[in-house]
């Protein structure tokens, strides 16, 4: 049974459109009870991105990731499908790992730092061994235990869905499918051929000191582009922003920001550093697209590349943030790719150097006794859309009680 610690009536004032919505109650950004409610109401039953399919191309390839405190294994099985399961050993709860030689030091590494290829997973504690789909295959010295059948023991599986090359998992195995609710975003991204893009290895910052929603809001709204980022964002002024409509049932929110010239870029040259994506139109090359597959996959598309962020709440006022670029394979094969990528990353860090302290300060402000439930401008129309999506989940979870 879960119940929102903040009355639904109060939360509903943040739904709707920028014309009449107000900001979410400030305690949604810091209250421990609300955080526990939200983890269940939103993250317990929604689709969470756990990686890209090209990260695990062959049978036995796996990623271990942490999502809302749950250690998970994302595995390419022998039949080529992708399986996502808990890494928690069903004996006494240690985390299983690839059945390779690990040193004692490795065992203390956070489980989300692993990837590789294996035939089985083994628990380092008492050597129970599981296959690629989590079926228990071996358990030493258990024969004398009454009624113990290996066939009865599996690593718990999550629901899995693939969309545009992204792998999504859901703790609710009966969840409503995701892809049909992303049709509008599919239309907007047709020419980007997102499924064929190839990710570089994500970089994860484990302890980002503000609530996950502050990160989502900062990524998605374009109101601040011409203000906080004035000078470095002038090639794409906020006046050129617009957002797609959001209707209840949609799983994504997205918007566009026109650039003054085609092939703009988030770096000191204001120009794209890589060749333009081959299928895109001139119109598409003169704008950026920002999208949220709620709750936590953020994507940005520009004329030469895309990037994806994953926001994983780790507490009421903290989250882990993973970031990676994705490119056409032909771009990654370019001889000067590594150096150009470094320049691109350095360019984006100029924006992060402004966004990150702003988000930290916003977290503090939202914990102030004077924290606002402020009004929204049209250039941040996506924020009440995101609120609407959240409130739908808060309400649905409360209805179940
Ligand atoms: S806890 Fe995994 S084998 Fe004992
Ligand atoms: Fe920003």
Backbone angles phi, psi at 157, to 5 degrees: -95, 150
Report which DSSP code applies to 390: H
Q: What is the pLDDT of residue 98?
A: 84
- Ligand 1 near 92 CB (within 6 A): yes
Q: Where are the domains of the chain?
A: 8-44+180-399, 48-161
Specify the residue with its C-alpha closest to ligand 1, atom 4. Answer: 126
CA distance 237 to 180: 33
Distance 223 CA to ligand 2 centre (A): 9
3-state DSSP assignment of residue 338:
helix
Q: Are 271 and 265 in contact (CB under 8 A)?
A: yes
Locate all alpha helices (DSSP H) within 172-242, ordered by sequence. Answer: 183-189, 212-220
If we measure between CA atoms, which residue out of 335, 252, 262 comes closest to residue 292? Answer: 252
Q: Does domain 48-161 have CATH number 2.102.10.10?
A: yes
If we measure between CA atoms, which residue out of 214, 221, 215, 292 comes closest to residue 46? Answer: 292
3-state DSSP assignment of residue 252:
strand
- Ligand 1 near 91 CB (within 6 A): yes
- Ligand 1 near 125 CB (within 6 A): yes
Distance 90 CA to ligand 1 centre (A): 7
If we measure between CA atoms, which residue out of 256, 189, 169 comes closest to residue 220? Answer: 256
Would the CATH topology of 8-44+180-399 be identical to that of 48-161? no
Q: What is the pTM assigned to this prediction?
A: 0.96
* 212 CB burial (10 A radius; 0-12, 13-18, 19+): buried
Backbone angles phi, psi at 198, to 5 degrees: -120, 125
- Ligand 1 near 142 CB (within 6 A): no
Q: Are 84 and 61 in contact (CB under 8 A)?
A: no
Instruction: Tell me which ligand sits closest to the C-alpha of residue 95.
Output: 1
Q: Cα–Cα–Cα angle for 38, 43, 48, nearest 5°? A: 155
Q: What is the pLDDT of residue 1?
A: 60
Digits of tens for pLDDT over the chain (401 positions)? 689 999 999 999 999 999 999 999 999 999 999 999 999 999 999 999 999 999 999 999 999 999 999 999 999 999 999 999 999 999 999 999 886 665 666 665 555 568 899 999 999 999 999 999 999 999 999 999 999 999 999 999 999 999 999 999 999 999 999 999 999 999 999 999 999 999 999 999 999 999 999 999 999 999 999 999 999 999 999 999 999 999 999 999 999 999 999 999 988 899 999 999 999 999 999 999 999 999 999 999 999 999 999 999 999 999 999 999 999 999 999 999 999 999 999 998 999 999 999 999 999 999 999 999 999 999 999 999 999 999 999 999 998 65
Distances (CA, A) of 18 to 182, 230, 366, 370, 388: 22, 23, 20, 22, 11
3-state DSSP assignment of residue 61:
strand
Beta bridge partners of 326: 199, 306
CA distance 242 to 289: 10
Distance 129 CA to ligand 1 centre (A): 9
Instruction: Tell me which ligand sits closest to the C-alpha of residue 215.
Output: 2
* 108 CB burial (10 A radius; 0-12, 13-18, 19+): exposed
Q: What is the pLDDT of residue 102?
A: 59
Q: Which atom of ligand 1 is nearest to the CA of 89?
A: 2
| CATH no., domain 8-44+180-399 | 3.90.380.10
Q: What is the pLDDT of residue 372?
A: 98
Backbone angles phi, psi at 213, to 5 degrees: -70, -30
Report which DSSP code applies to 157: B
Report which DSSP code applies to 48: E
Q: Which string of DSSP letters, residue by residue, matches 130-150?
A: E-TTSBEEE-TT-TTSTT--G
Backbone angles phi, psi at 291, to 5 degrees: -135, 150
Specify the residue with its C-alpha closest to ligand 1, atom 3. Answer: 126
């Amino acid at each position: 049974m879960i119940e929102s610690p903040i009355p639904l009536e109060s939360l509903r004032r943040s739904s709707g459109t920028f014309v009449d919505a107000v900001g979410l109650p400030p305690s949604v950004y810091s209250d421990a009870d609300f955080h526990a409610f939200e983890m269940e109401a939103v993250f317990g039953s929604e689709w969470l991105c756990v990686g890209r399919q090209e990260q695990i191309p062959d049978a036995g390839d796996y990623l271990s990731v942490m999502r809302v405190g749950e250690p998970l294994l994302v595995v390419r099985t022998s039949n080529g499908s992708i399986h996502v399961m808990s890494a928690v050993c069903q004996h006494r709860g240690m985390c299983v790992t690839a059945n390779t030689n690990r040193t004692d030091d490795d065992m203390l590494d956070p489980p989300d730092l692993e990837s590789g290829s294996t035939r089985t997973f083994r628990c380092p504690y008492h050597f129970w061994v599981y296959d690629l789909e989590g079926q228990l295959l071996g358990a030493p010295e258990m024969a004398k235990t009454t009624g113990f059948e290996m066939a009865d023991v599996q690593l718990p599986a999550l629901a899995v869905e693939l969309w545009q090359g992204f792998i999504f998992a859901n703790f609710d195995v009966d969840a409503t499918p995701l892809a049909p609710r992303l049709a509008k975003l599919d239309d907007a991204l047709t020419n980007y051929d997102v499924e064929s893009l190839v990710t570089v290895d994500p970089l994860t910052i484990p302890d980002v000191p503000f609530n996950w929603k502050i990160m989502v809001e900062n990524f998605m709204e374009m109101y601040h582009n011409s203000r906080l980022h004035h000078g470095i964002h002038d090639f794409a002024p906020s006046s050129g922003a617009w957002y797609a409509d959001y209707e209840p049932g949609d799983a994504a929110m997205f918007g566009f920001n026109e650039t003054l010239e085609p092939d703009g870029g988030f770096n000191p040259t204001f120009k794209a550093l890589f060749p333009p994506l081959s299928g895109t139109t001139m119109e598409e090359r003169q704008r950026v697209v920002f999208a949220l597959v709620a709750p936590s996959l953020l994507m940005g598309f520009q004329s030469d590349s895309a990037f994806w962020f994953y926001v994983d709440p780790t507490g009421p006022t903290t989250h882990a943030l993973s970031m990676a670029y994705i490119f056409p394979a032909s771009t990654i094969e370019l001889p000067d790719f590594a150096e150009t990528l470094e320049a691109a990353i350095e360019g984006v860090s100029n924006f992060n150097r402004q966004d990150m302290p702003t988000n930290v300060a916003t977290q503090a402000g939202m914990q102030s006794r004077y924290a606002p439930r402020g009004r929204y401008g049209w250039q941040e129309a996506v924020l009440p859309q995101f609120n609407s999506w959240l409130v739908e989940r808060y309400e649905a979870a409360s209805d179940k009680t």
